[in-house]
Amino acid sequence: MLYLYTGWEELWQDPSVTGEYYSQGPGLAPDAAALLAEKALVAIGLDVPFIDAVNPGQLQGKAPPPPGTPAGLPFFLHHSTLSQAGIHIVENLRLKELATDKTWLSCTMILPLRELGGPGSAIRPVAYGPPRP
């Protein structure tokens, strides 16, 4: 799993789903997603609610998607990364501690809920890095 820390998780304390954290955010550029697809990744984890960049007002229909987004496909990266490249997406992660500790290599376990017949599940990802000195 490749982790991308943006610092956006600092806004996660917002109690409203219409607050800044869930209404906009940084994401990958289309060319970055294409590069990751070439690397044969299994999963990518981000500290944002979307893998696609989202402009302020975009979710409310008041602003267009960022430049470079294919016409008519505002969440193109979510679709192409998951269904075309086969890379699982794990969003809303807390990555600050891994970034602060400069943990460049870790073992990640994904612990899903036991759910029968569900198309998805809340998960608890756990990353173990090297021991601290």
User: Per-residue pLDDT tens for 94-133?
Assistant: 999 999 988 888 888 988 888 787 777 788 888 888 877 7
Residue 6 lies in a domain: yes
- Please give the Cα distance from 54 to 32 (Å, whole number): 16
What's the number of domains the chain is made of?
1
- Whether 122 is covered by a domain: the verdict is no
Residue 18: its pLDDT value, please? 58
Is 14 among the domain residues? yes
Q: In whole angstroms, what is the distance from residue 122 CA to residue 93 CA?
A: 12
Residue type, 100: T
Q: Is 81 domain-assigned?
A: yes
Domain range holding 6? 2-106
Q: Model pTM? A: 0.83
Residue 16 domain flag: yes
Enumerate residues 6+ apart whose C-beta is below 8 A from 103.
127, 129, 130
Residue 48 lies in a domain: yes
Distance CA 90, CA 51 (A): 9
